[in-house]
Structure 1
């Protein structure tokens, strides 16, 4: 999913998790599953699922390779694929991950390696802005207070930025230097430390109303037998992750005498310290390098710290806990106004359909219903759902078959009248080509806020409609519906 998506989504890994869990818990709803499938990130900093690569949206030609631009600007250079749009692409990529994971899971008892040995861990807080270390060349280097480079503002081909920023920028711009100095003017020492990154945002030296980016970062190693999980507090590039893994594998195999040690990387763990590029990648100052906030030796510092921690682990020694970062939860600022009230047009109800479902759909059709709604922030419906697709059972009862956690449904809320607090919700359900035929309805649930009162629950349903197969019965049923339109009952709110 790219940065034009306005819907909450687990993206391709969330979809892979959903597909695996549905496979293992075929009759359970997503929040009821007993088998949990987690698809974790590793060193994905420069990895993209957009397999068709970047092209210019206006010409269809490949973008400039070095700067990811079209005619000198980055806004039109966008990567796509493998599908026709981001939803189809997510479905394809997520399905492939699920299929491979299921294959590995099925073969685990045959080709898998049984874990054996101790369970152990090490955890430490470190100040990444003040690390000093000696490189293999003997040179003493250090990390820097956090800073973002110009190419950070250019974005990536998965989500381009704005204005005139481009990737691969190694020089400053007088206008943007003037603007950025109103936030914080980097000291000469900071400029020298971050070279060749041209500093756009000197975040590490801004502390109002609190630090803009972290300096104290958690690092962690977990061991389960011969498996070692490295908790990376950011987005390491492919080569950065490979170097971390190689360094730790050597320690656990040679010093720890674990011949079959397997080191895996768990990215985005415990904290977020942006991207971590290699020293060589840092020199090119593309997006990931410009977002490597602690300077050109960031990766070397992480490898040094993780290597020391691994050595202490194999020696059975503890590590110093370090100084924990400040707790800023009570100081968080929000500029989002609270919900004052919700209302609906006179003579209507919350949850009442504005545009109801059709009487009949064939397999593969898109079902869409628009409801009177209320601000979803009134209640996030945690472990619940804003929507339900229900199928009528043979005994007349209704069974929930899909919720807003399913890939085939969408819940799109829109504020229609701000002053009156009115809003609508479009609920859509993409039926499958093999969807079970039968009678269905769509339910919308939520909470509305009366003026000066606490939010109150509401629910509403669409008319009952039929899903039929792609056969002659579809045409005959359509003819029946057209002849009996006057028998369609008006909406009645639920008790």
Structure 2
């Protein structure tokens, strides 16, 4: 069998024949940033009961550094829900100690993939950390550590390289989850596009100049990583994270995940109103279609849930990931590629959005002045989406007030008439911009940033742009680039959920409908227009080589953070047993296509997150009687599950599961578990356990 890496290299050699010498230095890095595997609430669905109970796929930070000899930029895509200002600040602080001023706010983009199945508690904005019981230091520190190490790895691996861009179309991997809102955009604007979501996939491919071997790739495709729904409690990077792993395995070969040398990523873009659940929303209590406007079933949002394309959420994740992979592989090996040429540029500015005032053209043709609003969330925000509905009696697409919730709101912090008018027609549920206890609930100062590599422009945006919002911003930035002497073939890529998080950005027309995305557009109806103005000015300044004022630095809340996540007190093993004992053995023989498992006495996984390591291994016995690791807890084929068996005694158990897929070689295997337990005096000690061996047959 020819190694996949050899195949991809040969294909690359064919594709690159005749190209001129490279002009960039490129570094690639990847590092584990998996948070606490259990006991911490997941970030994304805002479900306080969605608490981690193990690992299906580990989280990774994938780093790409590009240098033209004079200017350097770093782009990092992270398997986490989003990026907070505090997290980026911590990463830059660590990099500053190692590399002085090489990396800063201006030339580093940190972008979250937006998986909804990873530990939360790291945002440092109160509203986003509330469902996660406040700040969780373990989540924050492992993210900061993993991102930093990925950048350091890329920094030390710089080589001369060429960069190529390719585009394609994936029809069957996303749908619009708010089509009612989308249809409120102008008909003549909608007529310019074939679909109500962006179906384009854009790929940057990095190829080492010395031997034409591919060293990395980044793919941008608009889809929410919400194939795994809010009942899932295993950490996973979801559809785009699995697609990244599949691409890396395609090039690198082998089964071990996260070790390189090739690093492939699927990163977020304008995914705000885009869902992977292709069957669309149905009433799970009746099987009928949900109400088109409000996404309710007989007035209740909790029964209106989207799913598919698989029979369950795990199969759906795999299907979407493989559809992304299929087109990415096609782009990866195709001969027709456009090479990036030209300098590297960057520009960055912090903007206090509520203080922004701009002139826009009204529908009647007159010029009017509009402004940003202080942050506020609408009532439809609490309704959730068809990927993950909310609770109580909230509905999407409603602009009528609710006296009960308004009364509760006004007891906490009532919005002024000016705030109500600014956000109209949003019916405000949370007047978050005015709540400063115990610290800021949502940011008012945002990070805006452009990075230009040849003819490619990365627009790093601090939130989730809807499909049409992203289209408008791309058009605005390109117009500014071309008007100011930039390349006519400039390709603008929205890099979503970057550097700081401000929820959603809907168009003015979508805002009038007040579905979830609009209710979560925190700076009011003209948020998009303000961003368009800011990014247009940034593009002009970048092309002209002008410096822009850095703007006001967002506040730092490190000294005010609170947490209600209880610590691990101690672990204990049952009487007469030891940590690591295998209390449920696998059978003597299992067949390919079956699932095998073993159960072990364990300690709490929060005692040690096993960064860069694993809670499990699947090992194959070789002819010399030694054991070879073939899978870890980062593989799709495995699952690490943890459960507390007695709260008062401090006992728990870990289950290791392995799906034996068709590419597994028959032979003798065993399952192992690794962990740490905590003594009542505070000491944390390692342990391991091994199952008996078993035979895998066809």
Q: Structure 2 length normalisation: TM-score?
A: 0.66
Indicate which of 501, 505, 509 corresponds to 1:276: 505
Indicate which of 640, 665, 680 corresponds to 1:411: 640
Contact 1:386 1:403 in 2 (8 A): yes
How far apart, in 1, do the equivalents of 2:379 and 2:586 lie? 50
How far apart, in 2, do the equivalents of 1:348 and 1:182 lie? 54
Q: State the SS of the aligned residue for 2:397.
A: coil
Counterpart of 2:552 in structure 1 is 323
How far apart, in 2, do the equivalents of 1:418 and 1:408 lie? 30
What is the CA-CA distance between 1:28 and the residue it aligns to?
6.0
Indicate which of 329, 342, 346 corresponds to 1:102: 329
Counterpart of 1:357 in structure 2 is 586
Counterpart of 1:49 in structure 2 is 276
Contact 1:364 1:435 in 2 (8 A): no
How far apart, in 1, do the equivalents of 2:446 and 2:317 lie? 32
Q: Does 1:209 align with 2:438?
A: yes
Counterpart of 1:119 in structure 2 is 344
Q: Does 1:174 align with 2:415?
A: no
Q: Does 1:377 align with 2:606?
A: yes
CA deviation profile, 1:72-105 (whole Å, cap 9, x unmatched) = 1011100000001110000000111111111111
Counterpart of 1:90 in structure 2 is 317
Counterpart of 2:183 in structure 1 is none
Counterpart of 2:490 in structure 1 is 261
Structure 1: gaps of 5 or more residues = 470-495
What is the CA-CA distance between 1:314 and the residue it aligns to?
1.3
Q: State the SS of the aligned residue for 1:303.
A: helix
How far apart, in 2, do the equivalents of 1:467 and 1:229 lie? 48
Q: Does 1:424 align with 2:653?
A: yes
Q: How is 1:437-452 mapped onto 2 (pairs within 5 angstroms)?
A: 437-452=666-681
Counterpart of 1:461 in structure 2 is 690
What is the CA-CA distance between 1:29 and the residue it aligns to?
2.0
The structure that is strand-richer by fraction is 2
Counterpart of 2:523 in structure 1 is 294
Contact 1:146 1:215 in 2 (8 A): yes
How far apart, in 1, do the equivalents of 2:500 and 2:613 lie? 28
How far apart, in 1, do the equivalents of 2:486 and 2:592 lie? 59
Counterpart of 2:514 in structure 1 is 285
How far apart, in 2, do the equivalents of 1:370 and 1:169 lie? 49
Count of paired positions: 467
Counterpart of 2:229 in structure 1 is 2
Contact 2:255 2:631 in 1 (8 A): no
Relative to structure 2, which stretch is displaced further, 236-245 or 256-265? 256-265
Provide the aligned C-alpha RMSD in A. Answer: 1.0
What is the CA-CA distance between 1:330 and the residue it aligns to?
3.2
CA deviation profile, 1:349-378 (whole Å, cap 9, x unmatched) = 111122111111000001121111111110
Q: Which has the higher contact order (CA 8 A, sep 6+)?
A: 2
What is the CA-CA distance between 1:433 and the residue it aligns to?
2.5
Relative to structure 2, which stretch is displaced further, 328-337 or 41-50? 328-337
How far apart, in 2, do the equivalents of 1:350 and 1:363 lie? 30
How far apart, in 1, do the equivalents of 2:686 and 2:372 lie? 53
How far apart, in 2, do the equivalents of 1:118 and 1:257 lie? 11
How far apart, in 2, do the equivalents of 1:274 and 1:402 lie? 37
Indicate which of 611, 623, 631 corresponds to 1:402: 631
Contact 2:672 2:689 in 1 (8 A): yes
Indicate which of 299, 317, 341 corresponds to 1:72: 299
Counterpart of 2:247 in structure 1 is 20
What is the CA-CA distance between 1:256 and the residue it aligns to?
2.1
How far apart, in 1, do the equivalents of 2:337 and 2:548 lie? 33
Counterpart of 2:196 in structure 1 is none
How far apart, in 1, do the equivalents of 2:531 and 2:258 lie? 37
How far apart, in 2, do the equivalents of 1:273 and 1:287 lie? 14
Q: Does 1:348 align with 2:562?
A: no
Q: Structure 1 length normalisation: TM-score?
A: 0.93
Relative to structure 2, which stretch is displaced further, 380-389 or 351-360? 351-360
* Larger-gyration structure (1/2): 1
Q: State the SS of the aligned residue for 1:407.
A: coil
Indicate which of 252, 258, 266 corresponds to 2:481: 252
Relative to 1, partners in 2 of residues 1:58 and 1:28: Cα closer, same or farther, differing over 3 Å?
closer
Structure 2: gaps of 5 or more residues = 1-227
CA deviation profile, 1:439-489 (whole Å, cap 9, x unmatched) = 1111110110011132100100111111100xxxxxxxxxxxxxxxxxxxx
Contact 2:255 2:630 in 1 (8 A): no
